Amino acid sequence: MESVDGFVGMNVRRIFVRFYQVLASKRGEVAAVIVFGFFMVQDFRALFHYTQTMVLANLLSVVVLLNGMLLTGYYALLVWIYLTRSAASLTTKSLPAKIIALAATFMPFTFPMLNGPAQPSIVILMVSSLTLLFGMIFTMVALGTLGKSFSLIPQTRKLVTSGPYRLVRHPVYVGELIAGLGLVVWAPSIAKTVVFLLLVGCEVYRALQEEKLLAEAFADYPEYASKTARFIPGLL
């Protein structure tokens, strides 16, 4: 029992030491930890509230619950990545690339404010929820595979070519766009569609900027890129 308590205590101390190191660093992780930690707590609270009123016999309710769990887990994973990742080997010097990357990250948060006036049917809600579910699962798998190499702005740490990266070069962005499409379908409007198209453009630009850094940092990246689609296997 003492050994178990000692093991737990040692790991807790390591977490606090690492957290202190992040706070003391100048790499900007602390801001990301605070922001994503806030979103994680907010989503967890909303998820807990939803479970108090949901109907388990309702398939749509179950799908919405799964989406809520995945979204909370997504932010928790981002917090963990930013707490444990190492320094980047290369970082873009382009201010527009940094701004657009950050804009693309937070643009989907505007979707609920841009909902159309019409009340969607059950069929539309189900299609939207399933699209969002698929996008979130794909994003989570890609993010888990990328791990500590993830960054909001274009940076390089390690070349990842396994998992969903064998299918496309930017699976995190693909998953996020699929999830974003699900949010658009939920209650479509012209404004929301315009923002989604802007999001697509931002993600494409973001991907291109990342590829420049990856080609500079890793000699084998051009070969990987020549064999792997950017976003859609066999098409793009």
Residue-range definition of the domain harbouring residue 172: 87-236
HSE value, Cβ hemisphere, 13 Å, CA-based, for 210:
27
Say yes or no: 57 and 100 in one domain: no
Q: Which of 84, 119, 146 is the last residue of a domain?
A: 84
Which parts of the chain register pLDDT below 50? Answer: 1-2, 4, 7, 23, 26
Please, is 196 exposed, middle or buried when counting C-beta atoms within 10 Å of its C-beta (0-12, 13-18, 19+)? buried
Confidence (pLDDT) at 26: 45
For 82-94, the DSSP string reads HHH----SEE---
- Domain of residue 147, CATH code: 1.20.120.1630
pLDDT digits (tens, 9 = 90+) for 176-232: 999 999 999 988 889 999 999 999 999 999 999 999 999 999 999 999 999 999 999
Residue 201 CA to residue 100 CA, distance in Å, equals: 10
